Structure 1
């Protein structure tokens, strides 16, 4: 599985689609969502942690015990609602989303509100 950024949002490969992550972990239960990236001092290149939710709601991310900055994407139906860089230990973000994606710092530098970001099977 990989995380794909489609700035044009039309699914056309010619529109500048890029792969943001190829090593994707999914936090699909309450314990995994609570743990998140806590206690990690770094993130490998190509890594993403995806938090899927049932329906759209206000989703918060705190950085307590996270020792590295991260980029965070809040998505609603694969559209970016918010992009933020959160600081280690003290960072906090809140936005409406049905999916939140955490990435190494700098990976989401070219992602903007309204862009399409989605998970795609990488064919393995």
Structure 2
């Protein structure tokens, strides 16, 4: 699975791959663990949390020793982006998809852009 970023005017829309190796955290245990206890994540990696409906979703960096970029997505639209610091970062927004990426991977993503998971 990969994560694709689409941006620009409709008549000239461009696309970039934010992550070519995306895991999904589908179980409650996988969602609670997230990236905790990992030493790092490789470039091109993403962890996606999919939910049935948009609701406030919180990410924390407890036991995560590296910075990440986090995207909160409602439908296909990015509603919030935040760089979370190691161990102490916290972020919250309403979304039905939350994605964790290596720090810097979402540098060119802005709220209002389209980001989608593709099989």
Higher strand proportion: 2
Aligned residues, how many?
A: 119
TM-score, structure 1 as length reference: 0.92
Secondary structure, aligned partner of 1:17: strand
- Give 2:115's aligned residue: 117
8 Å contact kept, 1:37–1:66: yes
Q: Which of 49, 73, 90 is the matching residue for 2:88?
A: 90
- Give 2:6's aligned residue: 6
Secondary structure, aligned partner of 2:46: strand
Where do 5+ consecutive residues of structure 1 fail to align? none
Q: Which runs of at least 4 in structure 1 moved beyond 3 Å after TM superposition? A: none
TM-score, structure 2 as length reference: 0.96
1:108 to 2:106 alignment: yes
- Give 1:19's aligned residue: 17
Where do 5+ consecutive residues of structure 2 fail to align? none
